[in-house]
Amino acid sequence: MRRYPISYCKSETRANSSFDAKHQLAQAYQRRGRRSARGVSTIALVLVIAFFVVLPLALIGFEIGRITLAQTELKNVTDAAALAGTAALASSPQNMTYAQIQDLAMQVANQTFQQNSILETNFNNSNVTCNANNGVVDTHPALYHAILNIQLLDQSGNPQTTGSPSATTIRVSSYYTAKTIFASAILPIMPEATVSAFSDGGLPKLDIILCYDLSGSMDDQTDCKFVRRFWNPAVNYVDYTIIENKKIYDATLPPNTGTGLNCLRPQNLSYAAYPSPSNQSPKIFSEGAFPSPNSISGLRGNQVTYPAGSLPPPLAAALVKYPAGSVVPEQGWPPGNFDPTNPSLLHGNGLNPHAYSNGFTDMIVQVPDVGGFTFPNIETCLEASRGNMESVAILKQSQGGGAVNPALATPKIGYYDAYWSQVQKIADPIAASRTAASEFFYIMNVSSNGHFGLSTFADLAGTTANGTWSGTTLNIDSNYGGGGTGVFPVPLIPLDQGQSNYTQVTDAINGTSTTPPLGPTGRTNIAHSLQVALAELTDANKFRPGAKRALVLFTDGVPNQPGGTLALASDAALAQADYARSKGIPIYTIGLSQNPDVKPAEDLLLGDGKNRTGQGIAYKSGNGAIYISVQTSSQLRQAFQTIARSLVVLQ
């Protein structure tokens, strides 16, 4: 065996090692090259995927998000238009026709839509086309334009023509076309996108009852004159002295719950006497019980019995009602201090008409001229109120059978009705409340599938459609039968599953040819009215399944019945509100606080817990009820309309 030198072996070993190292290095470079190639390919692949897959998906996602935003904004604008249009239905004046109200509602919906914007587009009349119930339904707006299709529907969703009394719902459908950003510029696959929305606005199927305050204070803000009518021998005819010229409340200074004194029948003139620390000179009605004895009792009308044959025929006729059997009280009667046997006496029949500086015989409203009847002064108004302006003969007899006060207008038939019809229109706040309540029911009738009821109340609530006040039925005063009698309505118009009762309710409020309009009388029993109304709304034979039930309470003060105190009466009313809550029935409340002294108590009793009002009837009844406080009768219409609008819902 050949042996090599050790040095050679070492050299060979080094040579082999060097070769192996080079070989390994070459392999490493090869592997690195392959990895670099694979890395470049991966990067290239990633770039290709990013550009051709991820970027388009991102752009499409962006466009979808943008279109979704446009869709959401269009839905919001469409909802606003539908609600605004429906609110217009629920607040239109009563003197408008169905067609006028519906046209107005569609105009409001269109205007509301145009006051909004979507994405970069501000709407206006130039880029919004509105088809207002004209049979046209367009769905293809131009770029950056919108189309509004408005349809009128009945409660069942059937299309209705403009002017139809069955049109209770406004359907607003809208379309808007936007330009895409990336999809149109980079990937021209969808240059435009049209979005759409629709919304139905209307009042629900509604069963509603109004609890309406008829208490005596409901005309306390009427301007009245307290007049003493007496025979004046110095001029040989009837004369007049005005002892006070103020609003009823201000002239009598009653407790803060108001007066029982009325400018409308029953007048209850004895209630002018409210002696109190703030009222040192209460008014004394000539036929009243205050003071006792009353030194001018009998002054209002001559009721002295004269011996037969002691008077000439003209004077004898002057001391009986004219004509015989007339239903007009006191017609033809001269003052009680007129002594036909000796007209020149200052204190005729022993009566001194001026015994009290604050004594009066009549409380009269100065009314405006109407329909050919002139009322130039309070004297004419007074004689008209007694029926003495119906003819020259009647007027002469009422003046003592001779001369006539020159201040009086020329008599003619119809003055009596003309005067009292005008007082009905002026009495405040009862006249304004009748108008506001009538418009409320009109709005509900026009804009909803509504069934209605009416619960009026004074000492007690009415229980029948022909219900009347349970107190005295004397026209002038319970102490004075000579003023005649009358019937003073306190009706209940019940719910009826089969009909709306709209006509029955409005006739009860405003009167008919045979029934008078609602007028003030008696005290205030809110609890009984709520009880009666809730009995109607919870009677399965009277309310309609599926109908929203609601109750509206209107009062001008706070209750004093049952129990005779505010505390007891309030507790009874609040108990009814708790019951309403348990039945899902909201009690919307309207409080007319014309007397600042009663407002805190009224806010506490009627409140909804908001705006520093108490947790009262509206609050306890819950179910979305609200309380509206107004300070003047002129605000009542707006208050009722606010409640009507609060009932508007998106269907």
Distances from the Cα of 629 to the Cα of 213, 524, 570, 610, 646, angstroms: 15, 18, 17, 11, 15
pLDDT at 523 over 80: yes
d(CA 555, CA 560): 12
| Residue 74 near residue 195, CB atoms below 8 Å | yes
d(CA 556, CA 572): 18
Q: How confident is the model at residue 7 (pLDDT cuts 50, 70, 90)?
A: very low
Q: How many CB atoms lie within 10 A of CB 43?
A: 10
Q: What is the mean pLDDT of the chain?
A: 88
**Which residue intervals of 364-461 are DSSP H helices?**
378-385, 392-398, 415-426, 430-447
Q: How confident is the model at residue 92 (pLDDT cuts 50, 70, 90)?
A: low
**What local confidence, expressed as pLDDT, does residue 10 receive?**
44
Q: How confident is the model at residue 35 (pLDDT cuts 50, 70, 90)?
A: low
3-class DSSP state for residue 399? coil
Most trustworthy range by pLDDT among 80-94, 268-282, 497-511: 497-511
Q: How confident is the model at residue 168 (pLDDT cuts 50, 70, 90)?
A: confident
Name which of 5-9, 102-106, 332-336, 504-508 the model is least confident about. Answer: 5-9
Distances from the Cα of 445 to the Cα of 118, 322, 618, 650, angstroms: 36, 46, 24, 18
pLDDT at 33 over 60: no
DSSP per-residue codes, 455-477: EEESSSB--STT-B-SS--BSSB
**Which residue intervals of 495-525 are DSSP H helices?**
502-510
**What local confidence, expressed as pLDDT, does residue 373 receive?**
97
pLDDT at 627 over 90: yes
Two structure tokens written together for 264: 């409308």
pLDDT at 62 over 80: no
Domain residue ranges in the chain:
40-202, 207-216+428-650, 222-424
d(CA 494, CA 294): 46
540, burial (CB in 10 Å: exposed 0-12, middle 13-18, buried 19+): exposed
**What local confidence, expressed as pLDDT, does residue 13 receive?**
45
Average pLDDT over residues 328-337: 92
Q: How many CB atoms lie within 10 A of CB 239?
A: 18
d(CA 49, CA 46): 5
More confident residue, 514 or 526: 526
**What local confidence, expressed as pLDDT, does residue 2 receive?**
45
pLDDT at 413 over 90: yes
| Residue 128 near residue 155, CB atoms below 8 Å | no
**What local confidence, expressed as pLDDT, does residue 96 receive?**
81
d(CA 155, CA 102): 15
Average pLDDT over residues 593-613: 92
Share of the chain above pLDDT 70, in %: 86
Two structure tokens written together for 361: 């015989």
**CATH topology (fold) of 207-216+428-650:** Rossmann fold (3.40.50)
Identify which of 346, 388, 391 has the alpha carbon closest to the alpha carbon of residue 364: 388
Q: Is the peptide bond preceding residue 489 cis, with omega within 30 degrees of 0?
A: no
**What local confidence, expressed as pLDDT, does residue 87 receive?**
80
Question: What are the backbone angles phi and psi of residue 217, rounded to the nearest 5°?
Answer: -75, -5
Two structure tokens written together for 353: 């008409």
Name which of 45-54, 339-348, 529-538 the model is least confident about. Answer: 45-54
Q: How confident is the model at residue 93 (pLDDT cuts 50, 70, 90)?
A: low
Distances from the Cα of 453 to the Cα of 168, 546, 635, angstroms: 20, 17, 23
Distances from the Cα of 627 to the Cα of 100, 588, 615, 619, angstroms: 30, 6, 10, 8
pLDDT at 223 over 50: yes
DSSP per-residue codes, 72-133: HHHHHHHHHHHHHHHHHHTT--TTS-HHHHHHHHHHHHHHHHHT-EETTEEP-TTTEEEEES
Question: What are the backbone angles phi and psi of residue 208, rounded to the nearest 5°?
Answer: -140, 140
pLDDT at 455 over 90: yes
Pairing of strands 206-213, 450-457: parallel
d(CA 449, CA 438): 17
- pTM value is 0.78
Q: How confident is the model at residue 11 (pLDDT cuts 50, 70, 90)?
A: very low
pLDDT at 419 over 90: yes
| Residue 208 near residue 536, CB atoms below 8 Å | no
Average pLDDT over residues 306-313: 81
More confident residue, 10 or 423: 423
Most trustworthy range by pLDDT among 150-159, 236-245, 269-278, 440-449: 236-245
**What local confidence, expressed as pLDDT, does residue 211 receive?**
98
d(CA 35, CA 232): 132
pLDDT at 309 over 90: no
Pairing of strands 223-232, 237-247: antiparallel
Distances from the Cα of 154 to the Cα of 137, 161, 296, 645, angstroms: 18, 10, 66, 19
pLDDT at 8 over 50: no
Residues 6+ apart with CB under 8 A from 16: none
Return the ∠ at Cα 646 (arms to 599 and 635), rounded to 5°: 40
d(CA 641, CA 440): 7
DSSP state, residue 53: I
Strand partners, 523: none
